[in-house]
Amino acid sequence: MRLVFAGTPEPAVPSLGVLAAEGHEIVGVVTRPDAPLGRKRVLTPSPVAEAAEKQGLRVIRAGRLDDAVTDAITALEPELGVIVAYGGLVREPLLSAPTHGWINLHFSLLPRWRGAAPVQHALIAGDELTGASVFQLVAELDAGDVFAERSYRVPRDATAGEVLVDLAGLGAELLRDVVAGIESGRMTAAPQVGEPTFAPKLTLDDGRVRWDEPAERVLGRIHGTTPEPGAFTTVNGQRLKVLTARSGGAHIALRPGEIAAAGRDILIGTATDAIHVDRVQPAGRPAMAAGDWWRGLRTPDLRAGE
């Protein structure tokens, strides 16, 4: 098929690669403009732009899909539009420009977690099961009929970044099958069933750890906001990023936010069980083992969240 592909971050790259490997004619790749990254703010192409250019594909950089971009895509005469985490809305008349419209690979089991950050919200909420869905794009947010979905059980103590890597591969295979089904005319979509929940883009404050919550909620927030926007707390008024944490501190009773060393491990109390914190990053310093950070403070009566 003649495809136009829209995507931006790393989780969209496997889908682009799979569709190209299947022999589809990808007539254009739409992605967000180059963005300044790092301390030196160097303009850097998106992961999808890099992957597309390596394959010699035409790249259309667009912060929003305005009239000019709509005209450029329409002129390519695509049969199907495919979108994977592009980061912008597709509206009419672009929505109807491809012969078969647009399909969207979304990293949740719709209608649960419609929106920009489905994996992050799933982990914050403590969902043990999530997955990927391919649906027909419509004007309403993530509300179109679903062609296919695949479930995924969240591994214990997995972060949003780790889950996204798995779902990117699983979703690319699902997308491949749906595109093949649309091409053959065998694929049909069914309406979403159930009450929708929503997953808006996370803010920096969404990463603030609430130590007075139960351990599973604390870990869900840490894992769900890792690596972006990043989990953090404060200790002695100083911001401290929590990079990795895990369950398993039930044998030590600590008050919420209370910090204790157990051998080389650092435990922090919650409303229920204590949790292990393995790596942290103090403000203005590199990432380090939590034990090294704690021993360097020489003030063992400090608490997280203060």
**pLDDT level of residue 249 (50, 70, 90 thresholds):** low
17 shares its domain with 155? yes
119 shares its domain with 174? yes
Is residue 229 pLDDT above 90, yes or no?
Answer: yes
Secondary structure (H, E, C), the chain: CEEEEEECCHHHHHHHHHHHHCCCEEEEEEECCCEEECCCCEEECCHHHHHHHHCCCCEEECCCCCHHHHHHHHHCCCCEEEEECCCCCCCCCHHHCCCCCEEEEECCCCCCCECCCHHHHHHHCCCCEEEEEEEECCCCCCCCCEEEEEEEECCCCCCHHHHHHHHHHHHHHHHHHHHHHHHHCCCCCECCCCCCCECCCCCHHHHECCCCCCHHHHHHHHHHCCCCCCEEEEECCEEEEEEEEEEEECCCCCCCCEEEEECCEEEECCCCCEEEEEEEEECCCCCEEHHHHHHHHCCCCCEECC
Per-residue pLDDT averaged across 8-18, rounded? 97
Range of the domain at 36: 2-184
Is residue 80 pLDDT above 70, yes or no?
Answer: yes
226: domain CATH number is 3.10.25.10
68 shares its domain with 111? yes
> Among residues 184, 215, 230, which one ends one of the domains?
184
DSSP lists the bridge partners of residue 31 as 61
Nearest CA-CA partner of 106 in 160, 143, 73, 53: 143
44 shares its domain with 171? yes
Predicted model pTM: 0.94
31 located within any domain: yes
69 shares its domain with 110? yes
> Among residues 119, 149, 184, which one ends one of the domains?
184
Please give the radius of gyration of the chain, using alpha carbons only, rounded to the nearest integer: 22
CB within 8 A of 235, min separation 6: which ones?
259, 297, 302, 303, 304, 306
302 located within any domain: no
128 shares its domain with 237? no
88 shares its domain with 155? yes
72 shares its domain with 171? yes
C-alpha distances (whole Å) from 75 to each of 32, 69, 72, 89, 283 are 20, 10, 5, 19, 50
Is residue 300 pLDDT above 90, yes or no?
Answer: no
- In the numeric block, the tokens 């912008």 are attached to 88
pLDDT tens digit sequence for 139-163 = 999 999 999 999 999 999 999 999 9
99: domain CATH number is 3.40.50.170
107 shares its domain with 222? no
Per-residue pLDDT averaged across 35-45, rounded? 84
Is residue 193 pLDDT above 80, yes or no?
Answer: yes
pLDDT tens digit sequence for 104-124 = 999 999 999 999 999 999 999
Contact status, residue 34 vs residue 108, Cβ threshold 8 Å: no
Nearest CA-CA partner of 101 in 73, 82, 114, 85: 82
> Would you give the distance in Å from CA 7 to the centre of its chain?
13
195 located within any domain: no
The domain total for the chain is 2
**pLDDT level of residue 38 (50, 70, 90 thresholds):** confident
